[in-house]
């Protein structure tokens, strides 16, 4: 096991539904450490950079529109195997397939309104943390 940093975002639906505290509480209870937190309303440019890997896919513009539709909470978490631990806690991207007890399984409404985004590898965590916490 390795000490890692990961990026977690509570998306606009999670903020609107007042689930930020619930998300934070779950990661804290698991033993991860919250290192940085900021509430921002993403601009189109930042969203485009964040979702660059999906550019050209039919759902790309929907992702950008959704994440820029309101405030998000961006966070840096750290801990042992933080990336994989966070991914397990979030559940699969599609809430209909996510297990009960996961964030998406308990609170997600559909594949877009699934409450949270989390880095899928240490490399993407580094890239995403650089986008959202530039300084």
Exposed/middle/buried for residue 92 (C-beta within 10 Å: 0-12, 13-18, 19+): middle
Q: Exactly one of 3, 50, 54, 117 is catalytic; name it.
A: 117
Sign of CA dihedral 14, 19, 21, 23: negative
Would residue 54 show up in a list of annotated catalytic residues for this protein?
no
The residue to which tokens 């806690």 are assigned: 89
Integer angstrom CA distances of residue 93 from 41, 68, 69, 130, 135: 22, 19, 19, 23, 29
Active-site annotation, residues = 117
């Amino acid at each position: 096991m390795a000490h890692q940093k990961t990026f977690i975002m509570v998306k606009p639906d999670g903020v609107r539904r007042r689930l930020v505290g619930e998300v934070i509480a779950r990661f804290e209870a698991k033993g991860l450490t919250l290192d940085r937190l900021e509430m921002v309303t993403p601009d189109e440019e930042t969203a485009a950079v964040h979702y660059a890997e999906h550019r050209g896919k039919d759902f790309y513009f929907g992702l950008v529109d959704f994440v820029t539709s309101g405030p998000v909470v961006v966070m840096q978490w750290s801990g042992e195997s933080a990336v994989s631990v966070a991914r397990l806690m979030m559940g699969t991207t599609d809430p209909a397939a996510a297990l009960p007890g996961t964030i998406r399984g308990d609170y997600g409404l559909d594949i877009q309104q699934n409450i949270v985004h989390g880095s899928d590898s240490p490399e993407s965590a580094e890239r995403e943390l650089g986008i959202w916490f530039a300084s």
